Each structure stands twice: as C-alpha cells, then as structure tokens.
C-alpha cells in the first residue's frame, strides 16, 4: 500500500454526511486506480436499471498510484458514473489541481451518492469536510465559480465543477476545471448536476504516499529532461494537437459537414499554422512540461483553449472555417460545462437535418450566429431544437426519423470524436469497441493505420487495437497519467514500470498492467451487458451506416467507403481475441481467468453466458 492512501472519501449528499472507506492492497493491486477503481465501484454499487439521474447513481472521482507526483503529466483525475447519454458505463479524465490536492489530503478517490437538498459545494481540507450552500453559484459559469472559490480558499485549491449544462442535465454535460479542461463526455457533469453538486474544492497539505519518494523525484526529473530532449518537442509546444488538422486533411479523415466528407475546403484557415498566428499562450494540466492547450482570443477578445478535437467538431464538422468564431463557441461550451465534441457533432447533425428539411429550423452550414444561439439553447435544455439536441444525436435521430439514424454519428449513444472513418476500418473498430462509446482515447489507431495500409481488414489491425486499448484505455486510464508524452513525443513506455517500482516498492511489469487493463475492460463490458440484458448484441458495437453506405464525394479518396461485412468479420475476430462470445460478451472462462467469477455469476442472472 506504499503508493495509495488506501482511503476513499464517501459522500452522502442526501444525508450531508461523509465518511472514510479504507481499502487494502488486494483491492489496490487488482484494480490499480482511476478507471479500475471506478468500474469496480460502479459495478458493485449501481443496480442495473438505475436511472442515471437518480440519487442511487454513483459519481466517482478517482486517481491512481502516480497521480500528482513530480513526474511527467501525472495531474489527471478520472470522473465516472452510469451515463445518462448511453445507459452504460461512462467516464472521462480531466487535468486538474483537484487530483493533486485529493492525494495530498490523503484520499485516492471520492464517491458521491444521494442528492443534496439544495445546490451544494463540497469543500475538503485534509480531514475536514464541509457542505457549502451553492445558491449564489447556481446558473453561474464554471470559470467564474472556480475563480471565486480560489479567491476565497486560496490559489492552491483544486476545483472541479459544472456549468449550467450540468445543472440542466444536458446529457453530454461534463466536469470542468482550470478554464477549459473538461472531462466526462458521457454526461458525468449532468450526473453531478442531478445530485445538486455544483463544485468540489479540495485543499491538501500532506505528503504524497510513495515507497521511495527520493527515487521517484529523481526519476521524474530525468523523465522531464528526456521529454525536453525529444526532437518533436519544440513543434509540439508550438501547435500541440492542432497540427492534426493538416494531417487529417491530407489523409481525408477530417470530419466535415457531419462526417459526410474527410476534407474541408477551408482546412488551412483552421489549421495549426493559422492558429499560431493568433496564439497568445499555452495552458495545461498540472505536472506537465509539454502543456498542449493553445490559447487564442475569440471574437469577444476572451481567451479560449483550443485543441484538435474542439476545432474540428466546432469547425469543419459544422462547415465553419473561422478560428476566432470556433474559439468563441469553444469558450462558451467550456464555461457552460458542455462537451465540445458532442456539441459540434449534434449541431452538425441538426444542420444536415435542416438541409434535408426534417426540422422547421433553418440552419445552414457555417452559420455562426445561429450556432451561438443554438448552443445557448442546448446548454439550457430549452427551445424545440435545443432541448432535443441536449439529449444527444441518438435521441435526436429517433425524433427526426426519416432515415436520419443512418447519419447520426455515434456508437452506443456517445457521439463520435474527430476522425472520419469512411476509409479507416481499424479506427472505426476502435470507436466500435471503446469502453464508454465512440471515443478515440482508448485506441487512437488511425495514424498507425494510415501508414500500415488503410484498405485491409486483417488480423494485425485487431491486434493493434487491443494493444492500444491495453495501453491507452488501460494503463494510462488506470494510472490517470496523460498518454500524450508517449503518443506525441515518444516518451518511452518503460519509464512507467520504473516510476511504479519507486512508488510501490515492488515490480509491476507492463504485462501485469495489461492483465489489470483486460480485467477492467471485461468488467466494464459486464456493466453494459447487465444494463442492456437480452437487448445486448454485437449490433451495440456497430458504427454509423453512413461510413459503409455513403462513399466520400470529395478529395483524393473520393468514392471510398467501408465494407460492412468485412467490418463485422473484424469485430468477430476482436471478440475472439478478447475471449468474448459472438455477441461481444466475455465468456465464463474469460471472467474466470481474470479473477471475475463473481461477476460471471451475477451476470448470468441477466443473460446466458457462454462457457
């Protein structure tokens, strides 16, 4: 237990009570942290069929054994709950001082249950907890809320909070910190809002736990130096993820006009080099020396933090080729606590619905003023169109009908992120099999796939997806450290077992971590299947029909689309390699191999399991 406090703060909002739950090294080594802790807690405590907005849902905020230490990019917090958007497992990670402070206050995780009688802020100062009246903050932006709390309690206070989208239970409301670092796309902010919890403010003064802190600090320092020496570091600091715009355009995967196309006529106007002309600074997560948030002033002269995903979804995907306008939409989404990716996806869907006259509203591609007004309505869950879109594109497509389900760009109800997959079957499968619905964070396989050869549907692609899921959706989400040093500047993976040795006082190899990752994936799958019961089938892992029925009409790959049958064959191979049956459900022997016999027993009360 050298690197965990072994303590979870339990918060009952209905009773205004807190308590400490201790856990032992068995629990710690079985689930490691972050996503592992969250999956285990949600599986154990959220009964199937629970309304995501009921007091019985749990909101988990979890760290890992390296969180907050002075080593590269360790300042991430995982937030999770049963998702109101998908009805399954949902999580996300946020760069925030709140996770550093949580660890310094002597906790590895917070778990919230119940519902506060009135808007509340939880203040935690080491062992002291306080429920504060949040009446004056309710309806206020999350930026202002955080600033005000820091003014009152000191700059070192870590704050995570929600904006009005969370308060209004927009189903893709997220949790926000540090003016632009948001996480929990599948509506974790809405779950927080349903509990009347506006924010959590944390201050800790203790030492971080570690077996050998001197060695950990020494390794951390070497790690930071190593990152600085990487050839791609300088360019990364200039553009961060924004340079991916040019890459995606060159490779015909830049989502354009609701993923109709993979190229955008105005890509140069929103790309990395244009962004550099407007750039006024960088922002980033704690403990990171490759800070990747690019700040530019928006149309109102206010700073907005841009990255590849928010530019693409609020830019090319809605036909908007003006970076300052995109920055404005991005800033209001962040301040309202609404996920920029899902918002851009939903607005693009509405624009196509308008083009096809499925809705009364006239909403043309790139119409900034109309989008601004629509984002207000979405965040307030109001107006005819805004209130429909605030429920996500799956719901909107059921409402609009007329075949719009074919171009509702989601998997399992979670809106697809910023890669068009007409020409990339492996990336499509990565979306199809990600833990919480269509998210690239589990397996960003597309850059490898483009080099490998995008036309094939072979075994190497399935292997690569599983490898990446073990690392990105696995190791980094369990440790809650940022994956980008490894992905973007080539910070070698063998640093992590070395960090863990110093922190834990014992060896934990990459293979050991992959086993925990597989266990966590199987448990998350079980959570989904238990919720959906007999309605669960491999169709849950299918991708939008647009990608295999409407070929691209522009760019060098004009005419290309996916092959549905080959995708399904690749999906079945993925299941086989995971030890899941042809419905995508782990078999009894797979559960057993991962030490999850109890999970298999319970799940067999909901669906028939294969041997």
List of residues contacting ligand SF4 (CB under 6 A): 73, 95, 284-285, 288, 290-292, 482, 484
From CA 566, how far away is CA 235, in angstroms rounded? 38
Q: Which distant-in-sequence residues (6+ apart) come within 8 Å of 570 by Cβ?
A: 425, 426, 429, 457, 461, 462
From CA 571, how far away is CA 573, in angstroms rounded? 5
Give the nearest distance from C-beta 110 to ligand SF4 in angstroms.
Answer: 21
Do residues 199 and 98 lie in contact, with contact meaning Cβ atoms separated by under 8 Å? no
Give the nearest distance from C-beta 72 to ligand SF4 in angstroms.
Answer: 8
Structure token pair of residue 38: 């969250």
Question: Among all chains, which residue has been given the structure tokens 């409402």?
Answer: 399
Give the nearest distance from C-beta 95 to ligand SF4 in angstroms.
Answer: 4
Give the nearest distance from C-beta 570 to ligand SF4 in angstroms.
Answer: 30
- Written as one string, the DSSP assignment of 23-35 is --HHHHHHH-SHH
Residue placing its CB nearer to ligand SF4 in the complex, 308 or 528: 308
Structure token pair of residue 342: 């899902």
Q: Which distant-in-sequence residues (6+ apart) come within 8 Å of 206 by Cβ?
A: 104, 105, 106, 126
Residue placing its CB nearer to ligand SF4 in the complex, 253 or 484: 484
Residue placing its CB nearer to ligand SF4 in the complex, 93 or 316: 93
From CA 86, how far away is CA 124, in angstroms rounded? 31
Pseudo-torsion of CA 176, 181, 183, 187, nearest 10°?
40
From CA 136, how far away is CA 168, in angstroms rounded? 16
Residue placing its CB nearer to ligand SF4 in the complex, 242 or 482: 482
Residue placing its CB nearer to ligand SF4 in the complex, 284 or 474: 284
Residue placing its CB nearer to ligand SF4 in the complex, 284 or 392: 284
Residue placing its CB nearer to ligand SF4 in the complex, 93 or 587: 93
Residue placing its CB nearer to ligand SF4 in the complex, 290 or 378: 290
Residue placing its CB nearer to ligand SF4 in the complex, 252 or 481: 481
Q: Which distant-in-sequence residues (6+ apart) come within 8 Å of 106 by Cβ?
A: 5, 7, 126, 127, 204, 206
* Cα dihedral across residues 498, 500, 502, 507: positive or negative: negative
Q: Where are the alpha helices (DSSP H) in 367-509?
A: 368-380, 384-389, 393-400, 425-433, 446-452, 459-468, 477-479, 484-489, 495-504
Q: How many CA atoms lie within 13 A of 522 on its CB side?
A: 28
Give the nearest distance from C-beta 484 to ligand SF4 in angstroms.
Answer: 4
Structure token pair of residue 207: 């030492």
Give the nearest distance from C-beta 143 to ligand SF4 in angstroms.
Answer: 18
Give the nearest distance from C-beta 377 to ligand SF4 in angstroms.
Answer: 30
Q: How far is CA 23 from the centre of its chain?
A: 26
Give the nearest distance from C-beta 98 to ligand SF4 in angstroms.
Answer: 14
Residue placing its CB nearer to ligand SF4 in the complex, 32 or 482: 482
Residue nearest to ligand SF4 (CB): 284
From CA 149, how far away is CA 464, in angstroms rounded? 44
Q: At what angle do helices 495-504 and 510-532 cross, to 10 degrees?
A: 90
Q: Which distant-in-sequence residues (6+ apart) come within 8 Å of 163 by Cβ?
A: 141, 142, 173, 176, 189, 335, 336, 337, 338, 379
Structure token pair of residue 161: 């909070």
Give the nearest distance from C-beta 68 to ligand SF4 in angstroms.
Answer: 12
Structure token pair of residue 82: 């049963």
CA distances from 424 to 80, 416, 434 (A): 29, 14, 16
Give the nearest distance from C-beta 76 to ligand SF4 in angstroms.
Answer: 7
- Partner residues linked to 397 by β-bridges: none
Residue placing its CB nearer to ligand SF4 in the complex, 63 or 258: 63
Give the nearest distance from C-beta 294 to ligand SF4 in angstroms.
Answer: 10
Quote the Cα angle for 530-534-537, to 5°: 90
Residue placing its CB nearer to ligand SF4 in the complex, 231 or 559: 231
Structure token pair of residue 124: 């935690």
Do residues 501 and 507 lie in contact, with contact meaning Cβ atoms separated by under 8 Å? yes
Give the nearest distance from C-beta 152 to ligand SF4 in angstroms.
Answer: 26
From CA 248, how far away is CA 512, in angstroms rounded? 35
Give the nearest distance from C-beta 124 to ligand SF4 in angstroms.
Answer: 23
Residue placing its CB nearer to ligand SF4 in the complex, 233 or 575: 233
């Amino acid at each position: 237990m050298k690197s965990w406090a072994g303590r979870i703060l339990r918060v009952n909002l209905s009773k205004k009570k807190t308590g400490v739950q201790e856990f032992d090294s068995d629990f710690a080594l079985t689930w490691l942290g972050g996503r592992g802790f969250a999956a285990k807690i949600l599986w154990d405590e959220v009964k199937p069929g629970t309304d995501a907005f009921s007091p019985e849902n749990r909101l988990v905020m979890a760290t890992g054994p390296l969180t907050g230490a002075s080593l590269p990019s360790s300042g991430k917090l995982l937030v999770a709950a049963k998702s109101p958007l998908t009805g399954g497992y949902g999580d996300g990670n946020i760069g925030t001082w709140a996770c550093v402070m949580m660890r310094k206050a002597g906790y590895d995780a917070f778990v919230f249950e119940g519902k506060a009688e009135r808007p509340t802020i939880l203040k935690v100062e080491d062992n002291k907890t306080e429920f504060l009246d949040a009446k004056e903050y309710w309806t206020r932006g999350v930026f202002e809320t955080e600033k005000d709390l820091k003014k009152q309690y000191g700059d070192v206070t870590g704050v995570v909070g929600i904006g009005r989208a969370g308060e209004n239970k927009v189903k893709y409301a997220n949790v926000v910190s540090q003016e632009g670092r948001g996480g929990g796309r599948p509506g974790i902010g809405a779950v927080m809002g349903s509990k009347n919890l506006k924010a959590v403010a944390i201050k800790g003064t203790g030492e971080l736990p570690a077996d050998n802190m001197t060695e950990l600090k020494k390794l951390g320092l070497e790690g930071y130096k190593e990152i600085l020496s990487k050839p791609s570091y300088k360019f990364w600091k200039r553009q961060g993820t924004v340079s991916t715009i040019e890459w995606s355009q060159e490779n015909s995967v830049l989502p354009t006009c609701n993923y109709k196309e993979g190229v955008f006529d105005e890509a140069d106007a929103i790309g990395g080099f244009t962004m550099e002309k407007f750039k006024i600074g960088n922002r980033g997560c704690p403990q990171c020396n490759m800070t990747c948030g690019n700040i530019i002033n928006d149309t109102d002269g206010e700073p907005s933090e841009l990255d590849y995903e928010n530019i693409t979804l609020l830019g090319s995907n809605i036909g908007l080729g003006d970076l300052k306008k995109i920055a404005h939409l991005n800033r209001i989404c962040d301040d309202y606590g609404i996920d920029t990716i899902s918002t851009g996806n939903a607005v693009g869907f509405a624009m196509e619905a308008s083009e096809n006259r499925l809705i009364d509203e006239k909403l043309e591609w790139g119409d900034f003023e109309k989008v601004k007004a629509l984002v207000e309505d979405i965040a307030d869950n109001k107006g005819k169109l805004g209130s429909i879109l605030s429920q996500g594109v799956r719901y909107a497509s059921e409402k609009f009908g007329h075949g719009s389900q074919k171009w509702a760009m989601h998997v399992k109800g979670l809106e697809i992120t910023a890669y068009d997959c007409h020409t990339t079957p492996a990336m499509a499968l990565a979306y199809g099999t990600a833990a919480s619905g269509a998210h690239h964070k589990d397996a960003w396989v597309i850059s490898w796939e483009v080099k490998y050869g995008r036309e094939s549907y072979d075994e190497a692609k399935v292997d690569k997806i599983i490898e990446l899921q073990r690392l990105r959706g696995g190791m980094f989400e369990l440790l809650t450290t940022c994956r980008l040093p490894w992905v973007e500047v080539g910070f070698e993976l063998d640093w992590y077992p070395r960090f863990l040795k110093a922190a834990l006082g014992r060896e934990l190899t990459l293979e050991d971590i992959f086993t925990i990752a597989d266990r966590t994936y199987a448990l998350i799958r079980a959570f989904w299947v238990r919720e959906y019961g007999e309605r669960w089938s491999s169709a849950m892992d299918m991708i939008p029909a647009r990608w295999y029925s409407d070929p691209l009409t522009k760019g060098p790959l004009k005419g290309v689309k996916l092959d549905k049958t080959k995708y399904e064959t690749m999906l079945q191979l993925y299941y086989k390699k995971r030890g899941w049956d042809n419905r995508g459900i782990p078999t009894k022997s797979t559960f057993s191999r991962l030490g999850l016999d109890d999970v298999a027993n319970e799940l067999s009360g909901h669906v028939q399991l294969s041997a």
